Amino acid sequence: MDWIVSISVLFLSTLMIMLLFKMGNPWKKSSKDFPPGPRPLPVVGNLHIMDLKKPYQTMLELSKQYGPVFKLLLGLQKIVVLTGYETIKEALVNKADVFAERASVPIFEEFSKGFGVAFSHGENWRVMRRFMLSTLRDYGMGKRSMESRIAEECSFLVKKFESYKGKPFEFRRIMTAAVANIIVSILLGKRYDYEDPRFIKLLSLTTENAMLIGSPGVQLYNMFPMLGFLFGARKKVLKNRKELRAFLNENFIQCLNNLDENDTRNFIDSYLVQQQQERKTQSNGYFHHKNLEESVTNLFIAGVETISSTLFWAFTLMMRYPLIQKKVQEEITNVIGYAQPRAEHRTKMPYTDAVVHEVQRYADVIPLNLPHATTVDVNFKGYFIAKGTNVIPLLTSVLHDESQWEKPYDFYPEHFLNIEGKFVKRNAFMPFSAGQRVCPGEILAKTEIFMYFTSLLQRFTLQPAPGLSKEDLDMTRAVGFTTPPKTYMLCAITRF
């Protein structure tokens, strides 16, 4: 049977190559004013020059040669890349409506089917985003009630760190669980113990998918979707996704069985109530099960991966720069003392606020951004971009823009401080993207990062495990859709 499979693969591959050669270069059908870019090869396009482990790095290098707006052909994907603060601001903020669509990417389309918020399109996206924002506010986003929920979780986390009594431990699983409990409290109205095996499994599925979606195998699938059966990474992503949804569906049923329209307890309850109200007025609306399933999945993954990856960087950087850690702790002691850190303390703690912002800038946990698409034909920066073109507003190019940051590739909290030591906002600070597709949970994420960071540094001094010096801490980014640092054991030494 093996020879039959081999012949079948060879036949299909040959057929695809003949088809692609016949198609030629798809850019030739576009306006002569299309952006510049590297010359593509038949079939593979510009794949031969891409570092698939760090495609954002290749794009940064290409921008030096072709400018802030350039084109790429990756297999069957036609892409325009935007780089630099001024260019991306012009696109996402000043021409927000033009660049508001989500690009159609095979792996995202396959598991989302255009539902939810993150990867949906048109009116479905608008309706689901409005509902998501209003419901997040209803359940405390930006309010004292949410701060209290985060403060309670911080207490659980501090006790867990204390339990190791200064001995080395791997903190990522615990940190991820603490972060996940905040979004779980909004979605399901509950929290899980850090050692709950089902919860641990759920988080491992989420983390693995974040890594796989940015892996070379999935990128190749996005370029050549008709050969999807060859890519094991794609199959694993879909398998993990299925397990994640099975877990969430169990909770949908529990919420539905206990639903009280006059006493909604969580995001799912609110959605189910909206669904029932919609059914009374129209038969084919937006509040169906597929949108619920995908919206919850979007919130869970976004509420876990980006925040936890940022905190991994925060604590790794504090171990790498102990003098900065000490200065943060001194400010915490002077401003907060032994009280529970709250979001309101931020305005009184300029140095800590600057460090937190610099962590987010330096961490750059989603360097590629989520891909956008144009809603209409547009002339942008002197170039023609056709309606429906995939556009990558390269976030890493904003967070490391040499025209905006004094030391773009260094960890330098002074980026956010003036000469008087007061906190200053920077326009090029865009870790959550910008415009109409900006992360809907930005306020919640900022609150979580600040409160977890200050709560742990208030109680502990973080050090590398014995045998590791601060110089041994490698700042290399992991391969994946999100880019956390390498994993290290740490020691949490109690301060009081």
Question: Counting beta carbons within 10 angstroms of the beta carbon of residue 322, is it exposed (0 to 12), middle (13 to 18) or buried (19 or more)?
Answer: middle
For residues 35 and 81, give the distance between their C-alpha atoms in angstroms, rounded to a whole number: 9
Whether the per-residue pLDDT at 27 is higher than 80: the answer is no
**6 — pLDDT class (breaks 50, 70, 90):** very low
Residue positions in the annotated binding site?
439
For residues 142 and 134, give the distance between their C-alpha atoms in angstroms, rounded to a whole number: 12
The alpha carbon of residue 439 and the mean position of all alpha carbons in its chain are separated, in whole angstroms, by 9
What is the rounded average pLDDT for all residues in the chain? 90
State the average pLDDT over residues 279-293.
85
Whether the per-residue pLDDT at 7 is higher than 50: the answer is no
Whether the per-residue pLDDT at 9 is higher than 70: the answer is no
The helix/strand/coil state of 71 is strand
pLDDT digits (tens, 9 = 90+) for 184-214: 999 988 899 999 999 999 999 999 999 999 9
**283 — pLDDT class (breaks 50, 70, 90):** low
**16 — pLDDT class (breaks 50, 70, 90):** low
pLDDT digits (tens, 9 = 90+) for 214-259: 999 999 999 999 888 888 999 999 999 999 888 888 877 777 778 8
Residues paired with 71 in a beta bridge: 80
Whether the per-residue pLDDT at 3 is higher than 70: the answer is no
For residues 227 and 120, give the distance between their C-alpha atoms in angstroms, rounded to a whole number: 24
Residue positions in the annotated binding site for heme?
439
Q: Look at residue 31 in the predicted model and tell me its pLDDT.
A: 46
| In CATH, 84-378+402-494 is 1.10.630.10 | yes
Q: Look at residue 84 in the predicted model and tell me its pLDDT.
A: 98
Whether the per-residue pLDDT at 128 is higher than 80: the answer is yes
The helix/strand/coil state of 393 is strand
Of residues 256 and 6, which shows the higher confidence score? Answer: 256
Pick from 121, 124, 151, 202: which is nearest to 345 by CA?
Answer: 151
Q: Where are the beta strands (DSSP E) in 225-367?
A: none
Q: Which amino acid appears at position 431 of this protein? A: P
Of residues 310 and 2, which shows the higher confidence score? Answer: 310
Q: Look at residue 248 in the predicted model and tell me its pLDDT.
A: 81
> H-helix or E-strand containing 379?
strand 378-380
Dihedral (CA of 375, 376, 382, 383) sign: positive
Whether the per-residue pLDDT at 266 is higher than 50: the answer is yes
Q: Look up the pTM and report it.
A: 0.92
Q: State what percent of residues in the chain have pLDDT above 70.
A: 93
**8 — pLDDT class (breaks 50, 70, 90):** very low
The tokens for 117 are 């918020």
At residue 191, what are phi and psi to the nearest 5 degrees? -135, 160
Of residues 138 and 407, which shows the higher confidence score? Answer: 407
> H-helix or E-strand containing 74?
strand 69-74
For residues 67 and 464, give the distance between their C-alpha atoms in angstroms, rounded to a whole number: 42
Q: Look at residue 77 in the predicted model and tell me its pLDDT.
A: 86
Whether the per-residue pLDDT at 414 is higher than 50: the answer is yes
State the average pLDDT over residues 147-166.
96
State the average pLDDT over residues 31-36.
78
For residues 73 and 59, give the distance between their C-alpha atoms in angstroms, rounded to a whole number: 12
For residues 306 and 420, give the distance between their C-alpha atoms in angstroms, rounded to a whole number: 32
